Chain A
Amino acid sequence: DAGVIQSPRHEVTEMGQEVTLRCKPISGHDYLFWYRQTMMRGLELLIYFNNNVPIDDSGMPEDRFSAKMPNASFSTLKIQPSEPRDSAVYFCASSSALFEKAFWDYGYTFGSGTRLTVV
């Protein structure tokens, strides 16, 4: 498996524009997570899915943020409209189900991230 694949790797956009980040999880993983990393706040969980269903979106900062998982192999995180304070590295991660041996042995697998800059 090629691991968790995110695109694009870098995104520069102007304030007010719509931004869509994409993620392909590891095949067979039941859980998908979106995290955001900044120097000030570190890694923050935004939302996570189980079997394509959003389970907890309490970390999503505002209504400007939305996430979808239309099938087991694809998820998007959308920001509309984008603002300069949204600038960060956004990571997607996937994992096996909790309490499965695969989770104890391998934890979360993160993608390489998308560095978003809103100017």
Chain B
Amino acid sequence: SQKIEQNSEALNIQEGKTATLTCNYTNYSPAYLQWYRQDPGRGPVFLLLIRENEKEKRKERLKVTFDTTLKQSLFHITASQPADSATYLCALDTGGFKTIFGAGTRLFVKA
């Protein structure tokens, strides 16, 4: 069955550094992959979507890469800030709109 793996341990980094989160998947070839941010008590918020024919996508301080050979996506936050502290979810499609989500990685940015 389709499986998504994200760093289960929390990521702690210092303000100003680049945070890198990993999403690995198996047993499928998604046409696109998404990243969401979730704060406690809130719903996920869309950040970026990258398609299988795109190697990299950027939005302000965010950058996503998508390696379909390695079956991996990397999510980078440059010049991180304490306000970036949240849980980040990777999501991939399994056909049409049947999107499955990873368990998420908690990011803590210390001032």
Contacts and interface: CB of A to CB of B under 8 A. Distances in A.
B103 to A, nearest CB: 5
A93 B43 contact: yes
Nearest to B103: A42
Interface residues of B, number: 21
Judged by DSSP, the binding face of A is: strand
* Size bracket of the A interface: 20 to 34
Contact of A108 (B41, B51, B96, B99): B99
Interface in A1-54: 4, 31, 33, 42-43, 45, 48, 50
Interface stretch (A69-77, A80-88, A109-117): A109-117
7 contacts: A4-B43, A45-B98, A56-B96, A106-B46, A107-B36, A107-B46, A110-B44
Interface of B: 32, 34, 36, 41-46, 49, 51, 89, 96-104
Interface of A: 4, 31, 33, 42-43, 45, 48, 50, 55-56, 91, 93, 95, 98, 103-113
